[in-house]
Amino acid sequence: MIRINLVPVEERKEIKGLGEFIIGVFILLALLVLLVAANLIQNKRIADVNNRITDVKKEIAKLEEVKKKVEDFKAKNKDLEERIKAIAILEQNRTGPLFVMDSLAKAIPDRAWIDKFSEKGNVAQMDGIAWDEITVADFMKKLQSYPYFQNIELKVIKTKELQKLPLKNFVIESKLNYSGKTQTEEDQKKTETEKETKVNRLKAEDQNG
């Protein structure tokens, strides 16, 4: 079948140009919609980031407040510890001498007595009389059992006649430890060995003299 287009050439050109215009308009509208959508998405992302920044700032502010409280607590705790130490020192200075004298009274054997007790620079000197060397050694061992007496050393032991009895006059020195902290086991063994050696040497000197 033969078809004949009876529309004039100029009119056909008009119709073709209108179609291209409409297509162009649709493309522009589509681009505009895409730009608007992209802008909205970007604005939403920016808003989300800003919200996160605000939340982080709030958390930082809270952490700073907590940090300040912790620092205040540490400062108060340090001050409290210093006060406790000061109280402990005062208590030690108040009760230490009482414990020392009480321990000394308990350590003196039945067959011994102290004539003089003096202290200088936390070092005590005890002058006394004992029945024999064994009693002196026993006295030193008992002193050693109390934490307030450390580095006990026999300085002098010699025979002294009292009421026609050959008694032993002794001088013992000891470092005073008012805190009551005990020596280590090794230090105690070392001190005890030195003490026995000293007693034996002084005993031999007394017999030879």
DSSP letters for 13-56: HHHHHHHHHHHHHHHHHHHHHHHHHHHHHHHHHHHHHHHHHHHH
Residue 45 covered by a domain: no
Q: Give the chain's domain count.
A: 1
Q: Within 13 Å and on the Cβ side, how many CA atoms surround 19?
A: 6
Give pLDDT tens digits for 114-170: 999 998 888 999 999 999 999 999 999 999 999 889 999 999 999 988 888 899 999
Residue 200 covered by a domain: yes
The pTM of this model reads: 0.46
pLDDT recorded at residue 7: 47
pLDDT recorded at residue 54: 85
| Residue 86 scores a pLDDT above 70 | no
pLDDT recorded at residue 157: 93
Q: Which residue has the higher pLDDT, 10 or 100?
A: 100
Host domain of residue 168: 108-208
pLDDT recorded at residue 169: 95
Residue 133 covered by a domain: yes
Q: Beta strand 123-130 with 149-162: parallel, antiparallel or unpaired?
A: unpaired
Range 174-201 average pLDDT:
67
Residue 5 covered by a domain: no
Residue 47 covered by a domain: no
pLDDT recorded at residue 59: 84
| Residue 90 scores a pLDDT above 60 | no
Range 54-63 average pLDDT:
84
Residue 204 covered by a domain: yes
Q: Which residue has the higher pLDDT, 51 or 136?
A: 136
Q: Which of 130, 189, 182, 178 is nearest to 156 (CA)?
A: 130
Range 35-59 average pLDDT:
84
Residue 80 covered by a domain: no
Give pLDDT tens digits for 178-187: 777 655 544 5
Q: Residue 126 sits in a domain of what CATH number?
A: 3.30.1360.100
Residue 136 covered by a domain: yes
